[in-house]
Copies of this chain bind each other. A is one copy, B any other.
């Protein structure tokens, strides 16, 4: 039953077993990521899913594709929360702060995700790109609104903020001496306009 793709070219939908396998892999990957982080061996995910490694590579050519697929919904939710917060908060700065809280929560609860995002190697380049494409406009909108309202000084670039926050979330997440939120709070403090200019 060929159908029509958005590009207009005739396209055949995937075989039923392929779709089933893709879902099985996603579920298994999510479980393994929780247990062993996003750097877990592909073999381990394949074993948990009960499929061969090639199956995973076929559906998700790079590790970044797999990670992206697993967290797709949460990334979308985070992206959509931005405008909503801007509407529901009485101050753009407050909306920015709450949104950053969401973003940080997301990062620190996925072991090694922040590390992957900023990884020096480019194994995760596609993941980095996806985050930027999806979330940078949101943060830009929040920043613009806060600047517009005169709550923060202008000049900070959205990319720089995003990456700085991501960076601050890197590393072991079970160290009681380090709470990225405190430093991010300090960063935001530094961003505020002097109370009396």
- Per-residue B-contact encoding for A142-167, CB less than 8 Å = 1, 0 else: 00000000000000110110011001
A167 CA to B168 CA, complexed, in Å: 5
Is A87 interfacial (CB-CB < 8 Å)? no
Is A190 interfacial (CB-CB < 8 Å)? yes
Is A191 interfacial (CB-CB < 8 Å)? yes
- Per-residue B-contact encoding for A167-183, CB less than 8 Å = 1, 0 else: 11111100001111011
CB contact between A196 and one of B167, B178, B188, B195 (< 8 Å): that residue: B195
Assembly stoichiometry (copies): 2
Question: Shortest beta-carbon distance, A96 to chain B, in Å?
Answer: 14
Interface contact A171-B167, CB-CB below 8 Å: yes
A161 CA to B179 CA, complexed, in Å: 11
Is A8 interfacial (CB-CB < 8 Å)? no
Is A189 interfacial (CB-CB < 8 Å)? yes
Is A82 interfacial (CB-CB < 8 Å)? no
CB contact between A171 and one of B119, B177, B189 (< 8 Å): that residue: B119
Interface contact A118-B170, CB-CB below 8 Å: yes
Question: Shortest beta-carbon distance, A32 to chain B, in Å?
Answer: 16
Smallest CB gap from A117: residue in B? B171
Question: Shortest beta-carbon distance, A17 to chain B, in Å?
Answer: 36
Residues of B within 8 A of A120 (CB): 37, 39, 111-112, 115, 171-172
| B-contacting residues, A61-109, CB 8 Å | none
A172 CA to B128 CA, complexed, in Å: 12
Residues of B within 8 A of A164 (CB): 168, 178, 180, 183
Can you list 19 A-B pairs with a CB-CB distance of less than 8 A?
A39-B120, A111-B120, A118-B172, A119-B171, A120-B171, A156-B186, A160-B178, A160-B182, A163-B171, A163-B178, A164-B180, A167-B167, A167-B168, A170-B170, A186-B187, A187-B187, A189-B190, A195-B195, A195-B196
